[in-house]
Amino acid sequence: MSNNFQHANKFYQSNNNEVSLFRQAAEQHLPVMLTGPTGCGKTRLIEHMGEVLSRKVITISCHDDLTSADLVGRFMVTGGDVVWNDGPLTRAVKEGAICYMDEVVEARHDSLAVLHSLTDHRRTLYLDRAGEVIEAPATFMLVCSYNPAYRSSLKELKPSFRQRFVTIAMNFLPPEREAEVLVAEAGVDMSVAKRLVQCATSIRSADDVFHFEPPSTRALVTAAKMIAAGADELEAAEVCILAPLSNDGAVTDGLSEIAAACLLGASRSEITDNNKQRQSGAKR
Ligand SMILES: Nc1ncnc2c1ncn2[C@@H]1O[C@H](COP(=O)(O)OP(=O)(O)O)[C@@H](O)[C@H]1O
Ligand SMILES: [Mg+2]
């Protein structure tokens, strides 16, 4: 079975069994929790599943000011009339869409209480203020995501909340597949993509020493796009992969060495003429 899927304008490279698990959860009307580092493909998976299951995806970016009224809706005064306005969660339930609550760990526990009746056998949304009770249609699905390893976050989800979900733990793709993503997303040569991935893999394995968020696939795609636009590889790695990781000069120097070893130490024969020119410019 092929691992990559091409939609009208989006490409999804699967990692493991996440697509079949997601599909099985959807079939059984179960809510899904996606965990994994930032930029590893969680949002891309949801977009892919929206296409596969032919369902609309309604995304809610969670933050600590998010109230339950922001989710379900509120009465508003329009032209002298007081009318009820559905929030995004209510719209997703009514439309039988996939409601994607991104970074759900950022939301306050009391705002999330409204999800309880939707995430158990009731599959019902109670709009207390509007006096409405909405049973979710079969196609409604709640999907949440968060990054459990985010070390500076003091927030945690309640275990009782987490146990309501089928949890799909995601991680970065294996190197060859991650390189394919860079080729597909940025149009760079496979040899360039492989060097960038090698660079990220080395930094990720040094992560235990440095204690920072590991460089994401998103950062690699950005670097690849810079290279496609003419930046040299080391420069692109510097501004897209290394600089965002740390403000500590000593750490940055250590990382630059790793990057240089991966990008400049690459077998010269692999590097196209074009790249050779860029690299000689970079060495100054
Ligand atoms: N499995 C994948 N297939 C295709 N592209 C991916 C994949 N994983 C990451 N990407 C690329 O990385 C970017 C960031 O992924 P995203 O899904 O937004 O990460 P997350 O939601 O986990 O923070 C995407 O826009 C895409 O370019
Ligand atoms: Mg995301």
Q: Which residues of 201-224 are buried (b: 16+ CB within 10 A; e: fewer)?
A: bbbeeeeeeeebbbbbbbbbbbbb
Q: From the CA of 282, how far away is ligand 2's center (Å)?
A: 33
Three-state secondary structure call for residue 267: coil
Name the closest-CA residue to atom 6, ligand 1. 41
Residues 6+ apart with CB under 8 A from 277: none
Q: What is the Cα–Cα distance from 56 to 248, expressed in whole angstroms?
A: 43
> pLDDT (tens digit, 9 = 90+) per residue, 225-242?
999 999 999 999 999 999
Query: What would the CATH number be for the domain defined by 4-169?
Result: 3.40.50.300
pTM of the model: 0.88
DSSP for 121-152?
TT-EEEETTTTEEEEPPTT-EEEEEE-TT-TT
> pLDDT (tens digit, 9 = 90+) per residue, 91-125?
999 999 999 999 999 999 999 999 999 999 999 99
Give Cα separations from 27 to 31, 53, 106, 111, 123 (angstroms): 11, 10, 28, 27, 14
Q: What is the Cα–Cα distance from 188 to 195, expressed in whole angstroms?
A: 11
Percent of the chain with pLDDT over 70: 88
Ligand 1 binding pocket includes 203 (Cβ within 6 Å) = no
Residue to mutate, 218, 225, 240, ligand 1, most ligand atoms under 8 Å from C-beta:
218
Any bridge partners for residue 35, and if so which? 146, 169
Phi, psi of 229 (to 5 degrees): -90, 0
Phi, psi of 86 (to 5 degrees): -65, 140
pLDDT in tens, the chain (284 residues): 567 777 666 899 999 999 999 999 999 999 999 999 999 999 999 999 999 999 999 999 999 999 999 999 999 998 899 999 999 999 999 999 999 999 999 999 999 999 999 999 999 999 988 899 999 999 999 999 999 876 555 678 999 999 999 999 999 999 999 999 999 999 999 999 999 999 999 999 876 666 778 899 999 999 999 999 999 999 999 999 998 888 887 777 888 888 888 888 654 444 444 445 555 555 44
Residues of the chain with CATH 3.40.50.300: 4-169
